[in-house]
């Protein structure tokens, strides 16, 4: 009797913990490119990092794919510091040409007190699906942006500036 093999365990690099929540700021900005709208929803600031939440949606421009797109996200501040970005999660739904996906991205390190503005730029969205023959994920669609957002951090109240 042959033993079944277990799939290989994929160990992701450990990200720092997002400890104490400092504040939640609405971003509430929308940008559209290539028929796809991206809504920058919120910024959660923690003592050790921050989380940004986006929603990508199409109402007729592109067919639904049952896999979330990967957002090519870069995050910098007004002092030109770059932040590490890791996908925190994605969930969505759709049918035919009407769909939406919500993404959270964890960013590190923590925002320094001298940062006045945060810049969020999504250069592209890429969809990949599993190819059983090749035993890997293969690209099936790509949409070019950019979708660019600027968030004012200086006020203790939630505030946003217009997109870049």
Domain carrying residue 114: 21-152
Query: What does the block give as tokens for 90?
Result: 């994605």
Domain assignment present for residue 141? The answer is yes
Pairing verdict, β 21-33 and 70-77: unpaired
Domain assignment present for residue 6? The answer is no
Q: For residue 94, what is the domain's CATH number? A: 2.60.40.1640
CB 24 within 8 A of CB 42: yes
Return the DSSP state at 61.
S
> CA-CA distances (angstroms) from residue 29 to 12, 53, 71, 106, 164?
31, 11, 17, 19, 11
Domain assignment present for residue 127? The answer is yes
Domain count, the chain: 1
Average pLDDT over residues 39-45: 97
A 10 A CB-CB count for 66 gives 10
pLDDT, tens digit, 9 for 90 and up, residues 85-144? 999 999 888 888 788 999 999 999 999 999 999 999 999 999 888 888 888 888 888 999
If pLDDT is split at 50, 70 and 90, which confidence band does 48 have?
very high
Residue 159 in this model has a pLDDT that exceeds 50: no
């Amino acid at each position: 009797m042959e033993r079944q093999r277990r799939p290989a365990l994929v160990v992701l690099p450990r990200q720092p913990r997002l400890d104490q929540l400092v504040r939640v700021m609405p971003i509430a900005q929308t940008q559209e490119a290539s028929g796809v709208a991206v809504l920058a929803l919120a910024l959660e600031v923690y003592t050790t990092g921050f989380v940004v939440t986006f929603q990508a949606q199409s109402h007729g421009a592109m067919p639904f794919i049952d896999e979330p797109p990967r957002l090519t996200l870069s995050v910098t501040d007004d002092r030109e510091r770059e932040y590490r970005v890791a996908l925190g999660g994605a969930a969505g739904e759709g049918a035919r040409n009407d769909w939406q996906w919500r993404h959270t991205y964890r960013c590190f390190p923590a925002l320094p007190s001298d940062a006045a503005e945060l810049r969020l730029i999504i250069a592209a969205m890429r969809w990949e699906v599993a190819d059983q023959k090749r035993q890997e994920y293969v690209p099936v669609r790509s949409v070019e942006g950019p979708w660019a957002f600027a968030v004012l951090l200086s006020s203790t109240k939630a505030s946003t500036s217009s997109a870049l």
